[in-house]
Amino acid sequence: MANTNQFYNIPAEKFRFAKERDLQHDSKLSTKPVSYFQGAFRRFCKNKGAAVAAVIILCLVLFSIFAPLFTPFTPAYYDMVYSYVTPKLDIFADNNIRFWDGGREKTGNYLDFIKDYALGQETGRDVIVGGEYTETVDAEGKSIYHYRYDTYYGVGFGKYKIISQEEYDDIQRYQNETGRQVLYPVVKSTDRPTQEKNKYDANIYYVMENPKASVIRPKLDEEGNVIPNYWTYEAGSTSGLIPEYNSLRIEGENGVEKDGKQYFYAYGRKVDGGIEVRAEYYEYYTYTHTQVLKDGIEEPLFMFGTTQTGKDVFACLAYGARFSFIFAIIVNVINCVMGIIVGSIIGYYGGRIDLVTCRIMEILGAVPSMIVITLLKYHMGSSSHVVVLLISFIVTGWISMAWSTRTQFYRFKNQEYVLAARTLGARDRRIMFKHIFPNGIGTLVTGMALAIPSMIYSETSLSYLGIINLEAGKITSVGTLIAAGQQSVVANAAYVAVFPCLFLILLMLSFNLFGNGLRDAFNPSLRGTED
Helix (H, G, I), strand (E, B) or coil at 211: coil
Same domain, 285 and 166: yes
Contact 51, 44 (CB under 8 A): yes
- Is position 505 within any domain? yes
Do 103 and 244 belong to one domain?
no
Q: Does residue 335 sit in the same domain as residue 424? A: yes
Nearest CA among 80, 78, 277, 292 for reference residue 181:
277
Of 232, 267, 293, the residue that ends a domain is 293
Rounded CA-CA distance 263/38 in Å is: 85
What is the CA 16 to chain-centroid distance, rounded?
Answer: 83
What range defines the domain where residue 475 resides? 54-65+311-526
Q: Is residue 268 assigned to a domain?
A: yes
Give the confidence band of 65 by pLDDT, cuts at 50, 70, 90.
Answer: very high
Can you tell me the distance from the alpha carbon of 325 to that of 328, in angstroms, rounded to the nearest whole number? 5
Q: What angle do CA 111, 113, 118 make, to 5 degrees?
A: 95
What pLDDT does 252 receive?
A: 47
Is there a single domain that holds both residue 180 and residue 228?
yes
Region 513-527: what's the mean pLDDT? 74
Residue 38 in this model has a pLDDT that exceeds 80: no
Q: Which of 245, 264, 293 is the last residue of a domain?
A: 293
Q: What is the pTM of this model?
A: 0.83
Q: How far apart are CA 237 and CA 120, in angstroms?
A: 32
**CATH number of domain containing 437:** 1.10.3720.10
Single-letter residue type at 209: E
* Domain's final residue, options 130, 153, 176: 153
Closest CA to 79 of 167, 186, 174, 151: 151
Distance of CA 110 to the CA centre of its chain: 37
Residue 125 and residue 252 share a domain: no
Per the domain annotation, does 10 fall within a domain? no
Query: Residue 304 pLDDT > 70, yes or no?
Result: yes
Mean pLDDT computed over 310-320: 92
- Which residues on adjacent β-strands are paired with residue 218? 208
Summarize pLDDT for 96-135 with one digit per residue, the tens. 788 899 999 999 998 999 999 999 999 989 999 988 999 9
- Specify if 131 maps to a domain: yes
Displacement of CA 234 from its chain's centroid (Å): 54
Q: How confident is the model at residue 531 (pLDDT cuts 50, 70, 90)?
A: very low
In this structure, the dihedral spanned by the alpha carbons of residues 369, 518, 327 and 380, taken in order and rounded to 10 degrees, is 20
Same domain, 444 and 363: yes
Residue 465, in any domain of the structure: yes
Q: Which long-range contacts (CB under 8 A, 24 or more apart) does 244-248 make?
A: 245/172, 245/183, 246/172, 247/171, 247/172, 247/173, 247/175, 247/176, 247/183, 248/172, 248/175, 248/176, 248/179, 248/180, 248/181
pLDDT interval class at 444 (50, 70, 90):
confident
Does the pLDDT of residue 422 top 90, yes or no?
A: no
Provide the 3-class DSSP secondary structure of residue 391: helix
DSSP run (H or E) holding 394: helix 385-412
SS3 306: strand
- Tell which residue, 524, 316, 509, has the closest CA to residue 439: 524
Give yes or no: residues 289 and 323 share one domain: no
For residue 462, is pLDDT > 80?
Answer: yes
Q: Are 43 and 521 contacting, i.e. CB atoms less than 8 angstroms apart?
A: yes
Check pLDDT > 50 for residue 307: yes
Distance CA(270)–CA(478), nearest Å, equals 46
In a shared domain, residues 131 and 263: no
Structural domains of the chain, count:
3
Q: Please, what is the average pLDDT of the chain?
A: 85
| pLDDT bracket for residue 253 (50, 70, 90) | low
Is residue 429 within 8 Å of residue 491, measured between CB atoms?
no
